[in-house]
Amino acid sequence: MLFLCFVVIISSCAGGVKSSIRKSDIVIQTAKSYLGTPYKYGGTTRVGMDCSALLYHSFRSVNLKLPRTSEDQSKLGAKINIKDLRPGDMVFFATGKGKNDITHAGIVTAVMGNSDIRFIHASTSLGVTESNLFSTYYIQRFKRAKRVL
């Protein structure tokens, strides 16, 4: 009888325990599992993927279904000022000929200071990699940041 009471007490306590893993951590862990995946325009698998597929799969890991293109993804969520970025936020860039056309996207992985914000993305030359948002190339092409979590 004492054993049964102990089991009931333990099981009732376990129901109130919340996971310490945030959704943003799961998204980032999922994205990082693709590090080294080659870039492929329109690709959606570990054989090759583009930047919007990386976001699509990463956010899908927390049951958030994003559109398939960077342009459409950039229309979701709350607009975030660059100084308020946190891990899990999405960042969008105009890397093509159109200076305002969203053509590239990534997920913030770490905020290390005012001039060091890391994001993961699928680079055409490096595949899935992490970069500093404040590198000359990316900060000049940065257009907006959005938060969906």
pTM: predicted TM-score of the whole model, two decimal places: 0.86
Cβ-based neighbours of 13, under 8 Å, separated by 6 or more: none
- Provide the mean pLDDT of the chain: 90
Nearest-angstrom CA–CA distance, 60 and 98: 29
Rounded Cα–Cα distance for residues 15 and 21 (Å): 16
Radius of gyration for the chain, computed over Cα atoms and rounded to the nearest angstrom: 19
Res. 123 pLDDT band, cuts 50 70 90 = very high
Q: Which residues contact 78 (CB under 8 A, 6 or more apart)?
A: 146, 147, 148
- The CB density around residue 111, as the number of other CB atoms within 10 Å, is 16
- The position carrying tokens 């899990």 is 88
Phi-psi region of 63 (alpha: psi -120 to 50; beta: other; left: phi over 0): left
16: confidence class by pLDDT, cuts 50, 70, 90: very low
What positions carry a catalytic annotation? Answer: 51, 104, 121
Name the band, by pLDDT with cuts 50, 70 and 90, for residue 7.
Answer: very low
SS3 58: helix
- For 22-147, CATH gives 3.90.1720.10
Residue-wise pLDDT tens digits, 84-103: 999 999 999 999 887 889 99
**Spans of all domains in the chain:** 22-147
CB atoms within 10 A of CB 54: 24
DSSP codes of every residue in 74-91: TTSSEE--GGG--TT-EE
